[in-house]
Structure 1
Amino acid sequence: MKFVELEDKLNYYFKNKDLLFQSLSHKSIGSFNNEKLEFLGDSVLNFIITTNIYNIFNDLNEGDMSYIRSNLIQSKNLIKIAKKLNIKNYIQFSSVNDKIDYFINYLLANSLEAIIGAIFLDGGIESVKKFIFSQFNENLNKLKNNRDLNKDFKTLLQELLQKLHFSLPIYDTVKIKNYKYNLKKFYILCKISNPKYIETNGIGLNKKQAEQIAAKKMLKLLNYNFNKNI
């Protein structure tokens, strides 16, 4: 398979084409797969984004910097970038129903991290920094201009509850169900007991994602009820 069009979109041309092919190869097709590149790419992405946050937001404390990093490199942003680059058309994996969105999104996020690892091995730190900045600068600029976006839904919920003098939320894992292709679904309840009992639910491919979804639902619910009673 030729990857020239993908390299055009990446704005990076591999010296070792095997690295690019490997970065797009899911473990379902054999031992020559992208798992190790994904592991490397995740670490490289974290390092470069963290360094950039440290330089730009050096007035913030460690916790706030962590929130910014989590916001930038969360799965939905990786998936969005992967879709923009049209990575799906190049991923190598065994026959899967294209309508299984969870699995496809899982592949997209992991493959993007693997590509980052491959660029690092092929071109070094400066090449991979250039690629990462080209893909993440838009979101980074949004965060620079709106500090509230630096905080995830769980943090925003906790701050709102403290402001309202409500009890802090409790997150319970209700169940974990096996899903297709070695994936799992996590079912989480977000519960508040004071001044009255309220609960919302979240479903995700990992616990963190499900908790964020439940917290977002709780924020919407509280904002509605709070505004109604002003």
Structure 2
Amino acid sequence: MSTLELNYQNVLQRLQLACSQNNRPAQSVRLLAVSKTKPAAMVEAVYALGQRSFGENYLQDGMDKITALSHLTDIEWHFIGPLQSNKTRPVAEHFQWVETVDRDKIARRLSEQRPATLPALNVLVQVNISAEEQKAGVLPAQAHALCTLVSELPNLCLRGLMCIPEATDNEERLRTQLEAMQALYQQLAAEFPAMDTLSMGMSGDLELAIACGSSEIRIGTDIFGARDYPANN
């Protein structure tokens, strides 16, 4: 078994165990393999193991892989990095999901630039649940307004919320933020029926995120190894 396959199987086992410990079916949590900076060959190797959803942070890096792997017709590409307004068109044209929508302008441009021949672009609104000044995302109090806009735009489908909680070793502090995120999600999902995704949790807090209701875990290093840094994005 290759290191890549071993890593992937270990992550799946962690996910399944966390679901079992919280009385949740394993299929209630999607694994998003964060393939940023990694070559297309590694993505295809993980695809061959059964993985279908892949996350990209860097636009050019992601576009290179989308092109190289265009023969994999059921692969699902999620854009999970910060998105500048002058780079929305290729995301709207080539990705199936955008998880980092945090302002009206980005949402409007994605809707305008989504080709009519494609299904609606799946959108997660990014929430700055820890209220850190340097962090992207709307504050919880602003989430409803942005969700309303996304739900009304013709070529977008509001699927849920995403967050990156505070980087802290204080588990109770982290749990408080994840539970607040779950409560916000439940409140909004009651109003927006297409919402079915709460994306929170990475390698270090996978188990806690699942205990707090996450339905998508974003894992990069624990599958692909330490990241490389693309020269130009």
Same structural fold, with TM-score higher than 0.5 when normalized by the shorter chain: no
TM category, shorter:
under 0.3
More strand per residue: 2
TM-score, normalised via structure 2 length: 0.23
Tell me which of the two structures has the higher relative contact order, counting C-alpha pairs closer than 8 angstroms and 6 or more residues apart. 2
Q: Which has the larger radius of gyration?
A: 1
TM-score, normalised via structure 1 length: 0.23
